[in-house]
Structure 1
Amino acid sequence: MAANPAFGLPRQSPLFHAQQADRYERQQLIADYESLYNCRLIVMIDAIFPYSVTPFEELIYDNRTDRDVHLILATPGGDGETAVRLVRAAQARCKELTVIVPD
């Protein structure tokens, strides 16, 4: 298997690429959105409970404070105190926080 010259990693096999096609499409959609709106886009599809904090923090820890964050939040609900904690964490790491709740 030939290596990817940019990273020294093996190239993807056609099967691997086909199996991961949905993930690659989501990544491209997120990149397109971020480029169009000049922001960091975070998509959270989960119930909001204390275990949600660590993965969310991982997504925002390196955001520049002069950059907006857009959060697409699709959730059946959860813990209100944790939701406040997530919002405050995001607000501390961005210029402006926009929360989008799809219908």
Structure 2
Amino acid sequence: MIKVKVNDMEREWSEINPNWIHDQIKGRQQAGQSVCVIVKIRSGDVNVLLSAGDCPSSTGGGGSPNVHEQEVFDFWERVGMKKDPINSGNLVAFLKQAERI
């Protein structure tokens, strides 16, 4: 299960069109609004919460990530999701790959 939250709008990845992500992110950026993206992934032994953009800081997770979770964190960074401003195309690319988890 993958959930995507852009500011206050949350959807299941399986139920949305990538254009929704582009519209949510680019629309807010063009309006000068801050953008916070949170992605929740739960599949097998993977249970991660990823964030990008202007999100409230968190205290972190409940321990060290397992091998598969670390791969997800590494891929999140490789596609550029830790950079500002958020690139909606990179987010969609990440989510399409994450479907295979």
Same fold (TM over 0.5): no
The structure number with the bigger radius of gyration is 1
User: When the two structures are superposed, what TM-score results if normalisation uses the length of structure 2?
Assistant: 0.30
Q: Greater helix percent: which structure?
A: 1
User: When the two structures are superposed, what TM-score results if normalisation uses the length of structure 1?
Assistant: 0.30
